[in-house]
Structure 1
Amino acid sequence: MTRLLGSLLLMAAAGATTLGAAPAPAHAAATPLDRVVPAPASVTPGGSPYRITRGTRVRVDASGSGSASGSGEVRRIAEYLTGVLRPSTGYRLPITDHGTGGIRLRLAEGPFGAEGYRLHSGSAGITLTASAPAGLFHGVQTLRQLLPAAVEKRTVQPGPWTVAGGTVEDRPRYGYRGAMLDVSRHFFGVAQVKRYIDQLALYKINELHLHLSDDQGWRIAVDSWPRLAPYGGSTEVGGGPGGYYTKADYREIVRYAAARYVEVVPEIDMPGHTNAALASYPELNCDGTAPPLYTGTDVGFSSLCVPKQVTYDFVDDVIRELAALTPGRYLHIGGDEAHSTSHADYVTFMNRVQPIVTKYGKTVIGWHQLTGATPVPGALAQYWGLDGTSAAEKAQVAKAAQHGTGLILSPADRVYLDMKYSKDTKLGLDWAGLVSVKRSYDWDPGSYLPGAPESAVKGVEAPLWSETLTTSADIEYMAFPRLAGAAELGWSPAATHDWDTYKVRLAAQGPRWDALGIGYFRSPEVPWQG
């Protein structure tokens, strides 16, 4: 009965209009406040809607920020918002720091945390309030979804542009909400990475994990080892031309991500997955002989030479240069599938390399095999096991979590976005099984790993490996719609997780993706519109 009453209130709100505005057509009812992804923590519908018109202004109010930099960030968020709205509405939407009404972006003290926000909509205007700029930015993403999908188009659309009345109060369940892009198996250029960053930001994902090195390609320039990128990055799976990021390229990716409150997490995978480095420098091999470049898809055959001092000189140089380029908190050192490294050598290597990361001011992240060594204090282990992973391996990770190692959950048979949706999916792999849209959503991070305390779970990440992917269209087809579900698992309260209601909200994203030019998999599990 409560849900029915809320729906009736939303319908009534959608039918109301702002003073002086023409009534909206009946077919243009405002999107209900709870019809967004990720699901907000709290929604209170009611009151008259707000309609964006030719006279709407965007007001910036950073009086609660306590700093000029905070004021500057609020204005930049306003510019981002108007950059979304102007092409489709055709309105000027001037940005101002005075007046009343319109769309107000406000920093103020409150129970929002670093990323939470409050959105209030009524006939007089819309107010977004947060304690920090990241919260305002996330609130802007909610506002986008409350407007018609056509708002995402880059040409003038007919509107109307109505936002339902009521209040959304929201903050994330987890601080780490990530997506990984493998640029090593196939290389993706700066523009392609930026496009993916924009798609992540729409769903409040705040970490972009870039897999920068593997057997098939080294993708970041390193001044102290100059052959790594031009030679080690000169190919990819299938023998294509490969490529790499100059330091200027990487800085541009970091800058672009930061403007969208996304932190870049660079990964240099080691001691395995290192053929591109071994091929570039013979001295990194125990026998002093460089192997040929590799363009296949096998794993587990390569290893840095653990006993050699030059290995640690190499690692120190790479981490030092990469840490200097990366303002974010984390540096990922890989550590999975080191099948050509003995267990004793693996432990020796990981225990020597972790302090190098901390020496340069970064927090260690490693794949969950890191827990077979001794994770340093503060380290995070990224768990990618399956439902069928051995009890002993799960227990090893859980024990580390019990002793203070944080966990990022990326179970391969749930959120590996490169897994096929069904046996007929033309792209992707199936070694972890088939991962339908429902399966990717229908699990709880807080209780997923037996024996691991819920407090150890720091977040969720959806990796996208690129053995079979070569274009942005490939990325999008495999990521959407499953990426939205992973984002919701990371952001929304556990109490909101329900497949039957989620699939309806997910279906409403389809027209938005169409407007954005995102080609997605139209899963038969989802009641898509049209």
Structure 2
Amino acid sequence: MALRFLVLVICVSFFSCKKEKPIVPTSIENLVLIPIPDQVVAANYGFLFDQETVVTSDTLPEIKAIASQFKKILKNTAFPLALDKEVDENVVSFNIVSSDSISSPEGYVLEIDNNRLSLAGSTPIGVFRGMQTLLQVLPDALIAGKQIDSLVIPGVKIVDAPQYEYRGMMLDVARHFFTVNEVKRLIDQMAFYKLNKLHLHLTDDQGWRIEIKSWPKLTEIGGSSSVRNERPGFYTQEDYKSIVAYAQSKFITVIPEIDMPGHTNAALASYPELNCNGKATKLYKGMRVGFSTLCVDKDITYTFVEDVIKEIAAMTPGPYIHLGGDESHVTSKKDYNIFLNKVFSIVKKYNKHVIGWEEIESAGVDSTYVVQHWQRTTTASRGLAQGAKVILSPAKRMYLDMKYTKKSPIGLTWAGTVEVDSAYIWKPSQIFEDVPPSQVLGIESPLWSETIKSTGDIEYLSFPRLIGHAELGWSKPSNYNWDSYKERLIKHYKRMDILEINYYKSPILKTKIKL
């Protein structure tokens, strides 16, 4: 009797007489991580979830939101996952640490062993980026929302940070319009692959897609057309703010592009006073480029530009406004440079930095400007020589609107065809080898929309090429490896199926691996 009493006392003093948590050996051989992290080291044992597993997080709202997201993912499991208990073992933790521990704002450390699943960053952005890796570590069944009664996460330590600070995608909503929800779906997909910039091409010859309250005909008239009149439309200012806020929640910066002085027919059709002859042009539904220009000699042109920039800047918390500036074939070089210099001053007046396609270098740029390389390295190099930074979007590697092969059902071929391997097998650092790395902001994948008119079309042309670009932007060059990437991508097909992404299944990828 005394012995039984002693055992009871010992049990009560430790709150329970439960068995020790089993130690489960695991392997990371089948982990599919894209972009590939900087360091991946296997641990001997995995993390086993049970009824006593708890979730803890830093008190910052952004970190609490990540912890809540994790709990939501595990809602169809047998584990209650109490939140905010302060424990040291059998815990999933999301924490902020000092920048001395993790220097990169987007860097993170993910550690999984038999006692703890720990995700840490020195900023909420870093923890969020790490969460995307954790989502890839989690089993497919969990992401698919299936009922799970037992769960072990492979033991691993991942130390990771991005190669480039700018990792983006451009969506052209001017040739064909895409709704707020369609753009938000794309934002979700971008975030999953650690992209952090969404460049929206909002205006062009075929359509004006953003409400400007001081110039309402821009959308009343200019928003009513599109290529072949297939998808006209526009964003109200509240729509645009909704997109910006949603992107911010995924730590993605929206960069609005108002293309000028060319690519402006939708504006010229809306307001005849912007034309040198004072007559409105006809709405344009074709695919030609280079035939339009604002009248650079009129004062009203700069009143118009300032009103647009002022309203766009007020709705855009990010630091950049993109001015386009490409293919202004009917604007003389002299007029082009005069116009851009006046517009540069307007953008600075509203505390934004200018991005433009590489042609803007002819107007004079400095270290506060960003030129976007897309076609001619000699043109972009002149901007770099003036001190400007550069975003890399070489059309022959990164233009998502190029066909995969000549048989692709949609897309263009003016820059050639871009198969999945061509999109991946190149090094961004080798385009401008003599330029200091500090001048190369990063890379961006443009998707022009002349031939696309649905979410399925966006996804077909973007995936999987965008995934390869994401790896080139995030991962260290020493980790670029086509054979490794190819095998990971084939295995990743299953995850894209679960996410219901309409991706291109390239015949150059051998699909003999068991999924």
TM-score where L is the length of structure 1 = 0.89
- The 3 A distance-change label for structure 1 pair 94 and 228 is farther
- Is 1:359 the counterpart of 2:349? The answer is yes
Q: Please, which moves more after superposition, 445-454 or 240-249?
A: 445-454
- Is 1:144 the counterpart of 2:135? The answer is yes
- The 3 A distance-change label for structure 1 pair 33 and 449 is farther
Instruction: Give the 5 Å matches for 1:338-349.
Output: 338-349=328-339
Q: Which residue of 2 aligns with 1:375?
A: 365
Q: Which residue of 1 aligns with 2:7?
A: none
Task: Determine the C-alpha separation between the residues in 2 that align with 1:53 and 1:519.
Answer: 36
Q: Which residue of 2 aligns with 1:51?
A: 48
Cα distance, 1:398 vs structure 2: 1.6
Q: Which residue of 2 aligns with 1:270?
A: 260
Matched to 2:94, the amino acid is L
The runs of 4+ residues in structure 1 deviating greater than 6 Å are: 21-24
Larger Rg computed on CA atoms:
2
1:213 pairs with one of 194, 203, 221: 203
- Is 1:319 the counterpart of 2:309? The answer is yes
Contact 1:33–1:168 (8 Å) recurs in 2:
no
- The 3 A distance-change label for structure 1 pair 341 and 203 is same
Cα distance, 1:161 vs structure 2: 3.8
Cα distance, 1:440 vs structure 2: 0.4
Q: Which residue of 2 aligns with 1:474?
A: 457
SS in structure 2 opposite 1:233?
A: helix
- Is 1:483 the counterpart of 2:466? The answer is yes
Q: Which residue of 1 aligns with 2:57?
A: 60
2:274 pairs with one of 284, 288, 298: 284
- Is 1:77 the counterpart of 2:60? The answer is no
- Is 1:437 the counterpart of 2:434? The answer is no
- The 3 A distance-change label for structure 1 pair 471 and 94 is farther
SS in structure 1 opposite 2:400?
A: coil
SS in structure 2 opposite 1:408?
A: strand
Contact 1:123–1:165 (8 Å) recurs in 2:
yes
Q: Which residue of 2 aligns with 1:226?
A: 216
Q: Which residue of 2 aligns with 1:329?
A: 319
Cα distance, 1:504 vs structure 2: 1.2
2:103 pairs with one of 80, 90, 112: 112
Contact 2:24–2:114 (8 Å) recurs in 1:
no
Task: Determine the C-alpha separation between the residues in 2 that align with 1:365 and 1:377.
Answer: 11
2:286 pairs with one of 275, 296, 306: 296
Task: Determine the C-alpha separation between the residues in 2 that align with 1:159 and 1:31.
Answer: 21
Aligned length: 492
SS in structure 2 opposite 1:49?
A: strand
2:35 pairs with one of 35, 38, 47: 38
SS in structure 2 opposite 1:425?
A: coil
Q: Which residue of 2 aligns with 1:410?
A: 393
Task: Determine the C-alpha separation between the residues in 2 that align with 1:178 and 1:159.
Answer: 39
- The 3 A distance-change label for structure 1 pair 260 and 52 is farther
CA deviation profile, 1:136-184 (whole Å, cap 9, x unmatched): 000000001111223322x334475432212100000110000111111
Provide the alpha-carbon RMSD of the alignment. Answer: 2.0
CA deviation profile, 1:117-153 (whole Å, cap 9, x unmatched): 0000001121111100000000000001111223322
Q: Which residue of 2 aligns with 1:170?
A: 160
Cα distance, 1:42 vs structure 2: 1.1
Contact 2:358–2:383 (8 Å) recurs in 1:
no
Q: Which residue of 2 aligns with 1:246?
A: 236
CA deviation profile, 1:66-122 (whole Å, cap 9, x unmatched): xxxxx1111122223334x13554754443252333221000112332100000000
Q: Please, which moves more after superposition, 280-289 or 396-405?
A: 396-405
Q: Which residue of 1 aligns with 2:15?
A: none
Task: Determine the C-alpha separation between the residues in 1 that align with 2:64 and 2:322.
Answer: 33
- The 3 A distance-change label for structure 1 pair 436 and 232 is same
- Is 1:196 the counterpart of 2:186? The answer is yes
For structure 2, the 5+ residue unaligned runs are: 1-18
SS in structure 1 opposite 2:442?
A: strand
1:130 pairs with one of 107, 112, 121: 121
- The 3 A distance-change label for structure 1 pair 157 and 480 is farther
Task: Determine the C-alpha separation between the residues in 2 that align with 1:91 and 1:321.
Answer: 49
- The 3 A distance-change label for structure 1 pair 48 and 22 is closer
Contact 2:50–2:79 (8 Å) recurs in 1:
yes
